[in-house]
């Protein structure tokens, strides 16, 4: 449980990866993983840094989005909001119940695009170009999902998402370089 000096944050995109979240939130401590109900993962908008569409959550009855649960000290909230583009009205913060892998529920901060796409009416192979993440961004999400220990069927689903083939900002990509 987060104290008044900290908050719980649910990450489903690039902040699944510890190296990425620690860039703006050095106090972040992974507390486990969980899912939000009645949302599906989608991609929309264009992020110049990533050269593709960033992740968002879309209300969608019967679906789940899995992610990492981080506890972050409140002193990092401004940096996290800035990273998510709240000041530029790219993402908006929500507070949603997250069902933990242990069977409990935590209220967590989560970010959703302000201009969210309509519910998907296509199958993954048919994902239109404007709703495709870059290869770099998708790689960071997949690495983070594995690092977090998300269920294999969910990481398998993530690996089927079509990317646009672009790599991200070279300076940013170096910071997150694969160290396998």
Element (H, E) at 153: helix 152-159
Catalytic site includes residue 84: yes
- Tell me the per-residue pLDDT of 15-54, one tens digit each, with 9 for 90 and over: 999 999 999 999 999 999 999 999 999 998 877 778 889 9
Q: Are 133 and 41 within 8 A, CB to CB?
A: no
Confidence of residue 126 (pLDDT cuts 50, 70, 90): confident
- Does the structure show a pLDDT above 80 at 122? no
CA within 13 Å, CB half, 125: 0
At 135-180, the pLDDT tens digits run 999 999 999 999 999 999 999 999 999 998 888 665 555 465 544 3
Residue 120: band (very low, low, confident or very high) from pLDDT cuts 50, 70, 90: low
Assign domain 6-169 to a CATH class: alpha beta
Residue 131's pLDDT is 87
Among 34, 1, 28, 3, smallest CA distance to 102 is for 34
Q: In the 8-state DSSP scheme, what is residue 83?
A: H
pTM above 0.75, yes or no: yes
Residues 72-97: what's their mean pLDDT? 95
Which pLDDT score is estimated for 154? 96
CA-closest candidate to residue 117, choices 45, 62, 60? 45
pLDDT of residue 127 exceeding 90, the answer is: no
CA 41 – CA 155 distance, rounded (Å): 12
pLDDT digits 0-9 by tens, 3-25: 679 999 999 999 999 999 999 99
Task: From the candidates 24, 37, 84, 124, give the one annotated as an active-site residue.
Answer: 84
């Amino acid at each position: 449980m987060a104290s008044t000096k900290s908050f719980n944050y649910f990450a489903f995109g690039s902040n699944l990866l510890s190296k990425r979240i620690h860039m703006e939130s050095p106090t972040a401590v992974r507390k486990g993983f969980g899912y939000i109900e009645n949302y599906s993962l989608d991609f929309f908008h264009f992020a110049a840094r990533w050269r593709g569409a960033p992740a968002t959550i879309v209300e969608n009855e019967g679906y789940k989005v899995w992610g990492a649960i981080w506890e972050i000290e409140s002193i990092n909230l401004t940096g996290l909001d800035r990273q998510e583009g709240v000041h530029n009205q790219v993402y908006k913060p929500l507070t949603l119940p997250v069902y933990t892998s242990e069977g409990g529920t935590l209220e967590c901060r989560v970010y959703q695009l302000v201009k969210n796409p309509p519910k998907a009416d296509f199958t993954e192979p048919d994902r239109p170009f404007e709703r495709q993440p870059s290869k770099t961004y998708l790689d960071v999400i997949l690495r983070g999902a594995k690092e977090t220990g998300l269920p294999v069927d969910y990481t398998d689903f993530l690996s089927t998402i079509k990317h646009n083939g672009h790599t991200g900002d070279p300076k940013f990509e170096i910071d997150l370089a694969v160290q396998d």
